[in-house]
Structure 1
């Protein structure tokens, strides 16, 4: 089993990471952490990512490591976060996706974010949306 968790570095994304670990642990699932990055992938992989991207991914990795949960993290490059999420979910054949209801771009919104809406409308597997 595999659980995909998405982060944009927001406080709500950190809650999604906690929820993803809560889903993955009893299932003995592997946690796959991702962040979406607009543009092309650097030639030297994760080492070539910005400090912000590396920090977002390390939050996931460190949280999983603290509870001895198998975890891989990656930055997925593309045009839009929802496309990156769907692309990775299919590529890794994940069983569940966990994501925040809104990201950093929806300051003060009480409604679901547009990237979350697009993901929910297009993805073909269960999604846990964390508020």
Structure 2
């Protein structure tokens, strides 16, 4: 039924449940597994000369962290005999990067974690999962 499954990762513990679910689904369906981590862009400002961290140092650190996240997913999949393609992208909004990546890679299922924020916290912080659900027309499995 599913041929390409995308599992975004932010490195959190809750994401591991989504990763394990995506791996199992990929194995059952004989699907290709893809993982994605989104790096934050450097927060340029009008007073950039007083930034505590130089831009390239910030970008390099973001890339290291994001790369480690997708490598952790790839290792988890490989340990279960499933190959996994890993991608790192830079975006201001993670949900947009997830939607764009899913479309570009012709994914037919996204498996992602929800941190389960409710009430005022959800209103203030928003939900990446909710935004993905709102902006894409393909199945999204939310794992809590």
TM-score (norm 2): 0.76
Which structure has more helix as a fraction of its residues?
A: 2
Aligned length: 120
Deviations 1:68-99 (A, max 9, x none): 11210011211200000000000000010000
Structure 1 position 114, deviation (Å): 1.2
Which of 22, 33, 36 matches 1:34? 36
Which of 74, 83, 96 matches 1:83? 96
Q: Which residue of 1 aligns with 2:138?
A: 125
**Structure 2 gap ranges (5+):** 43-59
**Structure 1 gap ranges (5+):** 41-46
Contact 2:39 2:63 in 1 (8 A): no
In structure 2, C-alpha distance between the alignment counterparts of 1:49 and 1:101, rounded to whole Å: 22
TM-score (norm 1): 0.83
CA RMSD of superposed structures (Å): 2.1
Runs of 4+ off more than 2 Å: 47-51, 109-113
